[in-house]
């Protein structure tokens, strides 16, 4: 079962066009990816960085916006890893409201040491955790 | 001369890794595009929507992150339109700190009527304003 | 039972001191108040403004910060109205993590017509909804 | 001359009521206080924390909202310290657009060591910097 992250879109997320401001939407997707790590690792980026000593900064993101997001429904973000490289991981995030696709996005992160920000391969337990969850990139 | 938009990156924009949080960076680029409109049209998206009756919602964005952003320097965002279609406009935004490229991004917007959100071609004065400012997409 | 609003504090809410940035915390409290309306009215500020034609802009807020907020625990915001005037409503919000009080705040809103922003008394059903939920201001 | 911090209010700061969302306004005031430190210390909270080893977390804030904030004008925030205690500092921030007072706020911070978050008196150079800039609280 693919991880689903629920976001409560509210008044303050909307701009005068009465829809969620585009500048907020990448942050919604990132929160969903953080939630994916929490679900599978037992903690999100904060745990990763502070307790485990590594981070996964973003090197790329791309998003297509298919339908406006409003506070009328919860935003359900479906998150899955679609590629695990030597030192990188790629996520796909699909955002839906009331069954309607609102956005789809691709996000590429690299594994780094927390202090130095030097790129490094993920720890074996991370690789073992991610591999069975990989989905086809489509 | 290409429009340059200055952003004051501050403590509150940074995450515990001591760099600007990725979820904030698309909003920086959007603010720069809004600034581009203000520079050339005499007002940004607020003016466009409220006074002129049209909007330019985003249908796509993609960003590559080249170097971390910190509060050590102002973030200078260079904005230029690179394509003007029948009903869409594409911007390129390059973000630099102290001369170092931090991100490059591509942003596609469509022209819509403010209330209905129906796609429509830009008004002639908008087309006339944008065309001489177009830069090669490279 | 007093309304409890759960906030998922994440990496992106934290600053380099590894605690939630103060600039984010009033927005947490506001989201909780919006949630209180949703719980009791069937919709938050968006519903109020767009479907019902009135709003409740803030005229005052004050907050005391008692303990740092981190992503280690969900932030549970307890919200209650503590005063209902002729044209205003006052909320108390208490934010706790793992049972520890993180902040307490007082928020005063006025009832206004949606378009004109003119102050007006709340509709009778709103008054009837709020009165039984009032708690002592303490 | 009292420090004036300019904020560019934009479309993305506004909610569907076409005014700056209340949840954004404390962050505007905080950015102005950070700017005050930058002006007088040569760097804001990031410099303070990372280079100097101390921080000034907030223990209290209160704000009165006098007039709506919009993208029509720059928001000019006037910042001044109004009290310097043994281990605390209080700022007043007045936000104006086009000469109209939009908000007034009071913000209390404590001096702490960066890592431990233990309260401590400010360094002598900080005290010397702040004292001549103090304004009457009134």
pLDDT digits (tens, 9 = 90+) for A7-42: 999 999 999 999 999 999 999 999 999 999 999 999
pLDDT digits (tens, 9 = 90+) for C9-41: 999 999 999 999 999 999 999 999 999 999 999
C84, C26 contact by CB (below 8 A): no
What backbone phi and psi angles, to 5 degrees, belong to A11? -40, -45
What pLDDT shows up at residue D131? 97
Q: Is the pLDDT of residue B124 over 80?
A: yes
What pLDDT shows up at residue B115? 85
Other chains touching A, judged by 3 or more CB pairs under 8 Å: B, C, D
Nearest CB neighbour to B16, from listed A49, A64, A65 = A49
For the segment B12-39, the average pLDDT, to the nearest whole number, is: 98
Q: Is the pLDDT of residue C138 over 80?
A: no
Q: What is the pTM of this model?
A: 0.97
CA distance A126 to chain B (A): 20
Beta carbons of B17 and A59 less than 8 Å apart: no
What pLDDT shows up at residue A42? 96
What pLDDT shows up at residue A120? 97
- Chain C, residues 33-92, CB within 8 A of chain D, namely 46, 49-50, 55, 57-65, 68
B95, B77 contact by CB (below 8 A): yes
**Residue D65: closest C-alpha in chain C:** C59
Domain boundaries, chain C: 3-133
Tell me the C-alpha to C-alpha distance, in Å, between residue C40 and each of B13, C59, C79, C81, C91. 34, 22, 12, 12, 14
Nearest CB neighbour to D22, from listed C25, C58, C64 = C58
Residues of chain D with pLDDT under 70: none
Can you tell me the distance from the alpha carbon of B6 to that of A84, in angstroms, rounded to the nearest whole number?
36
Q: Which of the pair, D116 or A71, is modelled with greater confidence?
A: A71
Nearest CB neighbour to D17, from listed C30, C49, C62 = C49
Q: Is the pLDDT of residue B138 over 80?
A: no
ipTM: 0.96
pLDDT mean across residues, chain B: 97
CATH of B3-133, one of 3.10.129.10, 3.40.50.1820, 3.30.2130.10, 3.30.470.20: 3.10.129.10
**Residue A19: closest C-alpha in chain D:** D16
CA distance D84 to chain B (A): 22
pLDDT digits (tens, 9 = 90+) for B52-90: 999 999 999 999 999 999 999 999 999 999 999 999 999
A90, A108 contact by CB (below 8 A): yes
What pLDDT shows up at residue A138? 72
| Token digits of residue B91 | 């911007």
Beta carbons of D14 and B70 less than 8 Å apart: no
Q: What percent of chain A has pLDDT over 90?
A: 96
What pLDDT shows up at residue B1? 84
What pLDDT shows up at residue C123? 95
For the segment C60-76, the average pLDDT, to the nearest whole number, is: 98
What pLDDT shows up at residue D36? 98
CA distance D124 to chain A (A): 31
Cβ-based neighbour number of residue D62 at 10 Å: 17
The torsion angle over the Cα atoms of residues C22, C26, C32 and C37, rounded to 10 degrees, is -170
3-state SS, one letter per residue, for C20-53 = ECHHHHHHHHHHHHHHHHHHHHCCCHHHHHHHHC
Whether C12 and chain B come into contact, CB under 8 Å, resolves to: yes
pLDDT digits (tens, 9 = 90+) for A36-50: 999 999 999 999 999
pLDDT mean across residues, chain C: 97
What pLDDT shows up at residue D138? 72
Can you tell me the distance from the alpha carbon of A14 to that of A6, in angstroms, rounded to the nearest whole number?
17
């Amino acid at each position: 079962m693919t991880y689903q992250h629920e976001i409560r879109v509210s008044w303050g997320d909307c701009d005068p066009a009465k829809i969620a401001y585009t500048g907020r939407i990448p942050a919604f997707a990132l929160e969903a990816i953080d939630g994916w790590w929490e679900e599978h690792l037992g903690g999100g980026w904060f745990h990763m960085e502070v307790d485990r000593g590594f981070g996964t900064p973003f090197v790329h993101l791309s998003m297509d916006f298919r339908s406006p997001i409003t506070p009328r429904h919860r935003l359900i973000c479906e998150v899955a890893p679609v590629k695990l490289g030597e030192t990188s991981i790629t996520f796909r995030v699909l955002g839906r409201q009331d069954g309607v696709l609102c956005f789809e996005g691709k996000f590429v992160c690299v594994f780094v040491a927390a202090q130095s920000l030097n790129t490094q391969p993920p720890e074996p337990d991370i690789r073992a955790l991610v591999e069975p969850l990989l989905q086809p990139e489509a």
